[in-house]
Amino acid sequence: MLYFDYGAGMPVDEQVFEAMKPFFTTHFGNPSSLHEYGDAVREAVEAARAQVVSFVGAGEGDKVVFTSGATESNNLALKGVARRARRRGTHIVTTNIEHWAVHTPLKALEKEGFEVTRVPVEPNGIVDADAVADAMTEETVLVSVMFANNEIGTVQPIKEIAERAHERNIPVHTDATAAVGRILVDANDCGADLITLSSNDIYGPKGMGALYIRRGVRIEPVMHGGGQEWGIRSGTENVAGIVGMGAAAELAQRRLTRDIAHLSHLQTKLIDGAFEAIPDTHLNGDRQQRVPNNVNFLFDYIEGEAMLLSLSNYGIAASTGSACSSKTLSASHVLSAIGQSNEEAHGSVQFNMGRLTTDDDIDFLLEKLPPVVDRLRRMSPLTPKGFFDR
């Protein structure tokens, strides 16, 4: 199987898995217990927190809160900050390309009386920082813009947005799920006040994440209970998951330069190779301002799902749109946001690469793609007459 769906799921790194193992059996204590069983796991949880603190560049007084994943981190950031600030204002600014895990909690906040402005991105899939700033009002209590888009890979101008928001004392949240491990996500560098981090996106276990919270940001808990994680996220800690995420973060930080070089090389090879071999091919999203793991092509006249089926006959696993919405038939809201028609959006295919992707994998893909596209175009009613005589 040739796996090009790293955006949907990654294998847990062997070293990470090894680090986690004892916390299922030998070290089974509860970190809140005051005896030795508790001490050992409490220390492990704090060591893992230190690893994530270092990974995200958290400073003195900042917090890293462990959660059950990016979805929960986004819910905590959005609902937590908005509800706490309700008396000061009820307006939130975001974009029209956010993942459902931001879009849907914001919908829920709208039902609670908040007003949300969704700033449209430019045709290259990047939001203009000035447009985000223009959307801020006296009532704005939060700005949420994703670090990188999970479908078209575009990197958003978080630093500029944070600067503009901070001029008005508005905190900024960024969902960095599709950026971590692929580019530098550093709290000081980007200036965001809340950062959603995902464990599986750095070769850690699924169902595990964290939220970085800058010192001074006021947040109301979403999960109430025993008061763990400073009372911000109650519930007995997922110790093995936390240890895994810590180990994954340490590895990702250590390997970042190497991972970026590897992915960038593969990305260039795939984009250039496809452009050369297949006419009427377009790259969705910006070519430069994009995470190095992501390639999203629009092949004119054909259907993305048919492409996936044909590719899977060769053992190639890719995707259309977001893994989380692959069961719906509606066109991707991200591709609609960059101006694609329904037809075009349905013709797009995404290839997501990772640490284990090799040059040989790209060679194989580049060998199989042109004949697959050619065959589907010959069957497609959308292919213009005379296309094959050009």
Amino acid at site 388: F
Nearer to ligand PMP, 150 or 320 (CB): 150
Strand 2-3, strand 172-175: pairing? unpaired
Catalytic residue of the set 108, 309, 324, 382: 324
| Closest distance to ligand PMP from the beta carbon of 324 (Å) | 6
Pick from 108, 261, 309, 324: which binds ligand PMP (CB under 6 A)? 324
**Taking CB under 6 A as the rule, does residue 70 contact ligand PMP?**
yes
Between CA 319 and CA 326 the distance in angstroms is 8
The answer to whether residue 324 is catalytic is yes
Between CA 333 and CA 339 the distance in angstroms is 10
Between CA 54 and CA 250 the distance in angstroms is 8
**Taking CB under 6 A as the rule, does residue 296 contact ligand PMP?**
no
Pick from 48, 178, 245, 365: which binds ligand PMP (CB under 6 A)? 178
**Taking CB under 6 A as the rule, does residue 232 contact ligand PMP?**
no
Nearer to ligand PMP, 90 or 200 (CB): 200
Q: For residue 229, what are its two tokens?
A: 């994680």
Pick from 69, 171, 246, 285: which binds ligand PMP (CB under 6 A)? 69
**Taking CB under 6 A as the rule, does residue 71 contact ligand PMP?**
yes
Write the CA distances from 30 to 40, 65, 236, 265, 359, integer angstroms: 9, 17, 7, 45, 45
* 155 DSSP 8-state letter: B
**Taking CB under 6 A as the rule, does residue 5 contact ligand PMP?**
no
Between CA 176 and CA 149 the distance in angstroms is 9
Between CA 84 and CA 111 the distance in angstroms is 16
Nearer to ligand PMP, 44 or 211 (CB): 211
Amino acid at site 178: A
Q: Which stretch binds ligand PMP (CB under 6 A): 111-119, 123-131, 172-180, 353-361?
A: 172-180
**Taking CB under 6 A as the rule, does residue 12 contact ligand PMP?**
no
Write the CA distances from 285 to 121, 127, 161, 295, 298, integer angstroms: 11, 11, 20, 9, 10
Nearer to ligand PMP, 67 or 90 (CB): 67
Q: Which stretch binds ligand PMP (CB under 6 A): 115-123, 171-179, 223-231, 356-364?
A: 171-179
**Taking CB under 6 A as the rule, does residue 90 contact ligand PMP?**
no
Closest CA to 133 of 103, 102, 167: 167
Pick from 156, 174, 198, 348: which binds ligand PMP (CB under 6 A)? 198
**Taking CB under 6 A as the rule, does residue 101 contact ligand PMP?**
yes
Q: Which stretch binds ligand PMP (CB under 6 A): 174-182, 256-264, 290-298, 356-364?
A: 174-182
Q: Which stretch binds ligand PMP (CB under 6 A): 68-76, 109-117, 119-127, 248-256?
A: 68-76
**Taking CB under 6 A as the rule, does residue 261 contact ligand PMP?**
no
Kindly tell me the burial class for residue 246, based on how many C-beta atoms sit within 10 Å of its own C-beta (0-12, 13-18, 19 or more).
Answer: buried
Q: Where does the chain have alpha helices with state H?
A: 14-20, 36-56, 70-85, 100-111, 129-135, 158-166, 187-190, 239-277, 304-313, 333-337, 342-346, 359-379
Nearer to ligand PMP, 99 or 355 (CB): 99
Q: Which stretch binds ligand PMP (CB under 6 A): 48-56, 173-181, 228-236, 312-320?
A: 173-181
| Closest distance to ligand PMP from the beta carbon of 74 (Å) | 6
Sequence-distant (≥ 6) Cβ neighbours of residue 172 within 8 angstroms: 142, 143, 144, 145, 158, 161, 162, 165, 166, 191, 192, 193, 194
Q: How many residues bind ligand PMP (CB under 6 A)?
A: 12
Which residues does the annotation mark as catalytic? 324
